Amino acid sequence: MTETDTMAMTDVGEAAITALATAMAEAMFAHAGELTDLDQAIGDGDHGLNMKRGFEAVMAELPAIAAKPLPEALKAAGMQLVMKVGGASGPLYGTLFMTLGKEIGPAPDRQELAAALAAAIAAVKARGKSDTGQKTMLDVLAPVQAALAAGASIGEIRAVAGEAADATVPMRATKGRASFLGERSIGHMDPGARSSQLLVEAVCGVLGGGR
């Protein structure tokens, strides 16, 4: 359980918040084209650009955000996403981060993080009037939360996120614009599931010290 210890951070300070936000932003920047391509297949083709714009806004405010305690930093980052993303993913990811900020303390352990993520997932479900199994970001976030709660290692959580994103390929979308395509949404990975996977991987990369 040594990796559990890695995750039981005693102090999520300025350096850690900066590292986490930067890793997430870099993942969005590096994969903006891929996310947009996925979204062009089954959505309106703006997911990569939208996420890039949102995380550019987070990075522009990073010194101020990282100076805050973790809960306030999460809320501030979420608000940037809400205001700047420009698509449905803004309120959805914004709600995820803002709810994490509401539910978490300044030095969360695994149990607290898992509980906060569960609350944040419930808030995203309410915001999107959606649930798991509908080919959305929830199909990655929910299994990641379950793995986290069950004591999985960072490497295992990363693998769960990847498998969960892959598992959206054969799903049929019933929410969002992909649902307009009906059967034709089958066979493409959901762009929101992919961006969630990338964000989870980025966090795992920072927490796991690159493992």
Partner 1 sequence: MNSRVGIVIVSHSPDVARGTADMVRQMVGNEVPLGWCGGNPDGGLGTSVEKILGAIDAAWSDAGVAILVDLGGAETNSEMAIEMLPEERQAKAVLINAPIVEGAIMAATESWGGGSLDEVRLTAEELAPR
> Would you tell me which residues interact with partner 1 (CB under 8 A)?
44, 46, 49-50, 53, 82-92, 94-95, 127-128, 176-177
Question: Residue type for 115, please?
Answer: A
Residue 22 or residue 179: which is nearer to partner 1 going by CB?
Answer: 179
Of 59, 97, 19, nearest to 9 by C-alpha is 19
- Whole-number minimum distance, CB 150 to partner 1, in Å? 31
CB closer to partner 1 out of 85 and 189:
85
* CB of residue 99 to partner 1, shortest distance in Å: 13
Q: How far apart, in whole angstroms, are the C-alpha atoms of residue 144 and residue 161?
A: 6
C-beta of 105 vs 182, nearer to partner 1: 182
Q: Which is nearer to partner 1, 18 or 195 (CB)?
A: 195
Cα 121 to Cα 6, 103, 114, 172: the distances in Å are 24, 12, 10, 21
7 contacts 40 by C-beta, under 8 angstroms:
no
Q: Are 47 and 192 in contact (CB under 8 A)?
A: yes
Residues 6+ apart with CB under 8 A from 128: 88, 92, 136, 138, 175, 176
Q: Give min distance, CB of 184 to partner 1, in A.
A: 17
The least CB distance from residue 84 to partner 1, in Å, is 5
89 or 185: CB nearest partner 1: 89
Q: How far is the CB of 158 from partner 1 (least distance, A)?
A: 29
In angstroms, give the least distance from the CB of 88 to partner 1.
4
Helix axes 47-60, 14-30, angle to 10 degrees: 150
- Distance between CA atoms of residues 92 and 193, nearest Å: 12
Q: How far apart are alpha carbons 6 and 142 in whole angstroms?
A: 22
